[in-house]
Structure 1
Amino acid sequence: MLWIVDTRYALLLPLSLIVVGLISRLLKKNGPAPPLPPGPPRLPFFGNALAMDPKNPWKTYAAWGAKYGDLFYVRFFNQDVVVINSEKIAKELLEKRSSNYSDRPFIATRVAFGWNYSFAFTPYGKEWRLARRFFHQSFREEASLNFRPMQLRKAHQLLKSLIETPQNHVAHFGAFAASVGMSASYDYDVGPRDEPFLGIIEKVVYGLRFMTPETTLILSAFPFLLRLPAWLPGAGMRRAATRSVQYITELVETPLRYVEKNMAAGTAGQSLTSDLLRRKADKKYDDAEFDQALRQASWTAFLAATDTTSSALLFFILAMVLHPHVQERARREIDAVVGKDRLPDFDDQPSLPYIEAIAREVARWKPIVPLGVAHATTNSDVYEGYYIPKGATVVANTWAMSRNETLYPDASSFIPERFLDSNGRLLDPESPSYIFGFGRRICPGRYAAEASVWAVVASTLAVLEFSKAKDAQGKDIDFMPTSSVGLTRHPDPFPCCITPRAGVDSEKLARLVGSTMA
């Protein structure tokens, strides 16, 4: 009898363990959720909005990150915001978990300001995928090589403008960037003095300041600001939105009509838009979807090339003015590899590692998009024990990543040598890749953008010198560099002097350009 009782207890033991396991799972499932990432204290309603530095939000995020960690949580009004200050964490979330982190947050200004023509801000889905597919076909790494002859030609035109009227260098760099973008997108040649067209581009680019996460979150909390009558005092936002839509629509439709006209006449050159219009006859896509994706792909390609490239090149000039020794080393490398009887071309790129290091250091030193373009979560997630809510805005602080003292000692200084080994060879071939974003939302035009910057850096350093401007007494004019505020960052005008290298004039430049194009 005792043996029978013990056997019954023995049979009950596994069943008891199963019941206890189920109860434990149930309690765990219904137990407290993981905590949000740490972050600064928040005020009722405003959250952390009033604690932000509106001119340098990336610096505020970096300061909070130093206190709360490389992944932290803030709240702006009713919106959850998760900030990432680490390249490692950004890759783990935005790349390895890209299916959950490829959306965009609701951007209150996107449609109101006409930026729905840019697929960079389009929510993740069918519309975005089609536009990006169209874009990728022309700007993937292999295809972007087709633009290089044009990019070199435009860089040489830039040299001529800088020698003739160096005081207008800001406009010349803007014209170069716009010309490259319009040529690639529409086979439209923007002349260096096409002032009306360039003026509209400048106004559109200026409107990017309304696309920052901080601005859009404020407008999401106070949507009535975009519905005020335009005549009402204080309705500046509404008036700005009306003008922005007008300018963007003109920039989208005018070059498209130009390509359509040339195609009808049989004179259209190769461009992203003409290639897509030829494919429209295949009827693989709904006409309305195709037309929208075509406009988004073409205009995004043009705008991205124009805004970011011109800013990067102006920061390059700033770096050269402040660091003349960098120019000297670069010219020695160019003279040794290329000589003085022609200009550098892309075949020389592997043999000019210091030129490449300068281009990379410009990108790291002054990130053009210091906070990237915000991502959003499709579903809630848990990372390292922290809860990330569904629909949260996720900001990758590129500026903080560029200031990682472990990777970049003396990170605030401009030191191209940090990308070279002791033998002068390039280190990581893709560093710093984070400046172009992460995951499925990484900039698809990065290869063409890098080529444009390299072409100008190599060409200008071969024939020009950059120095501080001098006052009436011949003394250097010192200045403190400052930058404008917006989604993209631009250097404010600074005094500088651009002169040809000894022995280089318009005639010599014409010979150099001719030898390169031969």
Structure 2
Amino acid sequence: MSSPKYLAALDIAASALSVLLFLKLFTLRSSRKHAFPPPGPRQLPIIGNLLDFPSHDHGERLGRLRKQYGDLMSLRMMGQTIIVINSARIARDLLDRRARIWSDRPVIPLLQLMQLYEWNTTFIPESPDHRAQRRIADRYLRPSALIPYRPMIRCRVDELLRSLLHGPNEFKGHLRYFMTGVIMSIAFGYNLKGEKDVYVTKTEAFAEAIIDSMSPTSSIVNVFPILRHLPTWIPGIGKMRYVDEVRRLGLEIREEPFDFVKKSISDGTAEPSLSRHSFMMAEEDGQLSSKKNQEHTKHCSSLTLPFLAGVDTTGVALTNLVLALLLYPEVQRSAQTQLDSVVGRERLPSLDDRGKLPYIEATCKELLRWRLVTQIGIAHATKDDDVYDGYFIPKGKHLSLDFAAMLHDPVRYPDPESFRPERFLTPSGEYNDDPHMAVAFGFGRRICPGRHLVDEILYTFVSSFLSVLTVEKKKDEDGNEIPVSGKHAVDVALSQPLPFECSILPRDNRASQLIQSTGDGQEN
């Protein structure tokens, strides 16, 4: 039996705890009562700040707003508040240090009707299911887990070089096919059967529909969900026509590849892949006996996550390299001089050479910074009310990250529109790692799980490309160089170079022979 003194002490402790909780609640309510949302431009009737957040070329407009309203601002569109973060410091404070609150996803009605929030790791809300899927993705995409795939990446790069040698005018298609092949091999151990492979065509259609439906302004249904019941011939409702088709595609592209992996494991033909490894580890641990764990494994390894993150983003980054070499020929000369000095002309660079090629390392970093593939990215949402720096941010508000503001800051990166790998080098020419560049892959619990894979692919491609190929401006029939604007088309999801012409040529006969003689399966 407890003594009276012990009980009295418990009463005192409970009373003190109650007082502390009351004071905390009072302080929180008081701070929220006197807090205001972040500043923003004046709203127009009904549409709010819709014109201040256009779906195209929004970088320049957001830049002007940032100068006026600061690093944390708010826009309101059709009754929906969007918080815009323009500073990496604020993003880290909120998305890293307050990840529990700031890692949710806003519900976009079109995507909800496509059922993405039920299974896709990228879109499902912050929850135990999301955390379970992220643990799987982070486990099998960490640097050490990617080592077995290096020979495959090397083989795919060799194939790409041969394609560029024999068909340089179709370089964009070659780059996209290369990235698709890498992703399919790593995700499922599946070798593509040509550019019209059924998995590729299905996933491209699915990815295109998602990107086209993500913006709050892409359809009036995203603003007023009740309008989804109206006939699809009414202006603004037309995207409802393909909701059922996208939902069906989503089911097929997460079931069919997973069935392919299971079958190949059972008949002994399975090649190394994330899905194979995940499936077999889960089976060994007895986790596949749980339907929930099997669903996590399936959804995490489904093609849409690596396809969206890899093919569309890294594929554009590779195209940006060609554009940068065209616009800044001095970069090409400097890179090739270092490659010739370190590697020579008798072989392609390997990962063993990486520490001795600081200019190549700097070029890869500048590729991620120069023309941001994702300027805004997929929106976050607050899971609870929060107060930051005196501003009140209610639960459920959309959050957009202005990556262009963070990586094109003229104070941190002078002359940010120019492609200058030297900004990542010391005065003596050594590589100067810049932790700020982690911004390119996001923050917190939604940071890109494939960032280490992107890093290896970029280095292998950039170093190999520059070793044996050179980019020049194309000439017309009169021998005049065809001008290249260097401009990009920007939408809510991707920033892509406008079509441009160029000549991709072997550096000389020796380089041409090296490309053709490089066999499959060369290892690093």
**Do 2:111 and 2:210's aligned partners in 1 also have CA atoms closer than 8 Å?**
no
Q: Which residue does 1:53 correspond to in 2?
A: 54
Q: 1:515 to 1:38 in 2, by over 3 A?
A: closer
Cα drift, residue 278 of structure 1: 2.0
Which residue, out of 203, 206, 209, partners 2:205?
203
Cα drift, residue 234 of structure 1: 6.0
**Do 1:320 and 1:466's aligned partners in 2 also have CA atoms closer than 8 Å?**
yes
Equivalences for residues 143-182 of structure 1 within 5 A? 143-182=145-184
Q: Which residue does 2:15 correspond to in 1?
A: none
Q: Which residue does 2:432 correspond to in 1?
A: 427
1:497 and 2:499 are equivalent in the alignment: no
Identical residues among aligned pairs (%): 34
Which residue, out of 314, 322, 334, partners 1:309?
314
Letter of the 1:139 partner, please give it.
Answer: L
Could you list the runs of 5+ residues in structure 2 that have no partner in the other structure?
A: 1-22
Q: Which residue does 1:268 correspond to in 2?
A: 270
Q: Which residue does 1:451 correspond to in 2?
A: 456
Q: Which residue does 1:288 correspond to in 2?
A: 291
Letter of the 1:108 partner, please give it.
Answer: P
Which shows bigger deviation, 311-320 or 44-53?
A: 44-53
Which residue, out of 344, 369, 376, partners 2:349?
344
Q: Which residue does 1:10 correspond to in 2?
A: none
Q: 1:301 to 1:287 in 2, by over 3 A?
A: farther
Q: Which residue does 1:41 correspond to in 2?
A: 42
Measure the CA separation in 1 of the matches of 2:375 and 2:27: 44
Which residue, out of 464, 468, 473, partners 1:468?
473
1:72 is paired with a residue whose SS is: strand
Deviations 1:295-325 (A, max 9, x none): 3211213442222111111111111111111
Q: 1:360 to 1:231 in 2, by over 3 A?
A: same
**Do 2:151 and 2:522's aligned partners in 1 also have CA atoms closer than 8 Å?**
no
**Do 1:211 and 1:487's aligned partners in 2 also have CA atoms closer than 8 Å?**
no
Letter of the 1:494 partner, please give it.
Answer: F
Measure the CA separation in 2 of the matches of 1:96 and 1:461: 40
Letter of the 1:291 partner, please give it.
Answer: Q
Q: 1:30 to 1:353 in 2, by over 3 A?
A: closer
Equivalences for residues 97-108 of structure 1 within 5 A? 97-108=98-109
**Do 1:227 and 1:238's aligned partners in 2 also have CA atoms closer than 8 Å?**
no
1:448 is paired with a residue whose SS is: helix
TM-score, length-scaled by structure 2:
0.88
1:111 and 2:112 are equivalent in the alignment: yes
Equivalences for residues 406-425 of structure 1 within 5 A? 406-425=411-430
Cα drift, residue 253 of structure 1: 2.7
Deviations 1:127-170 (A, max 9, x none): 11111111112101321233222212111110011111111111
Measure the CA separation in 2 of the matches of 1:49 and 1:233: 18
1:362 and 2:367 are equivalent in the alignment: yes
Q: Which residue does 2:138 correspond to in 1?
A: 136
Measure the CA separation in 2 of the matches of 1:30 and 1:497: 61
Deviations 1:414-473 (A, max 9, x none): 111111110111223544110100111111110001111111111111111112221111
TM-score, length-scaled by structure 1:
0.89
Q: Which residue does 2:6 correspond to in 1?
A: none
1:369 is paired with a residue whose SS is: coil
Which shows bigger deviation, 147-156 or 295-304?
A: 295-304
Cα drift, residue 216 of structure 1: 6.5
Cα drift, residue 30 of structure 1: 8.9
Measure the CA separation in 2 of the matches of 1:30 and 1:249: 46
Cα drift, residue 516 of structure 1: 5.0
Cα drift, residue 225 of structure 1: 5.0
**Do 1:114 and 1:249's aligned partners in 2 also have CA atoms closer than 8 Å?**
no
Measure the CA separation in 1 of the matches of 2:233 and 2:29: 58
Q: Which residue does 1:331 correspond to in 2?
A: 336
Which shows bigger deviation, 397-406 or 380-389?
A: 380-389
Cα drift, residue 81 of structure 1: 1.4
Letter of the 1:380 partner, please give it.
Answer: D
Aligned CA RMSD, in angstroms, stands at 2.5
**Do 2:221 and 2:237's aligned partners in 1 also have CA atoms closer than 8 Å?**
no
Q: 1:30 to 1:103 in 2, by over 3 A?
A: closer
Which shows bigger deviation, 115-124 or 371-380?
A: 115-124
Q: Which residue does 1:278 correspond to in 2?
A: 280
Which shows bigger deviation, 430-439 or 226-235?
A: 226-235
1:432 is paired with a residue whose SS is: helix
Which shows bigger deviation, 446-455 or 27-36?
A: 27-36
Deviations 1:259-311 (A, max 9, x none): 12211211112211112222443443674322332232112134422221111
2:271 is paired with a residue whose SS is: coil
Measure the CA separation in 2 of the matches of 1:316 and 1:238: 37
Q: 1:147 to 1:515 in 2, by over 3 A?
A: closer
Measure the CA separation in 2 of the matches of 1:376 and 1:465: 45
Q: Which residue does 2:301 correspond to in 1?
A: 298
Letter of the 1:176 partner, please give it.
Answer: F
Q: Which residue does 2:9 correspond to in 1?
A: none
Measure the CA separation in 1 of the matches of 2:320 and 2:179: 14
**Do 1:172 and 1:192's aligned partners in 2 also have CA atoms closer than 8 Å?**
no
Larger radius of gyration: 1
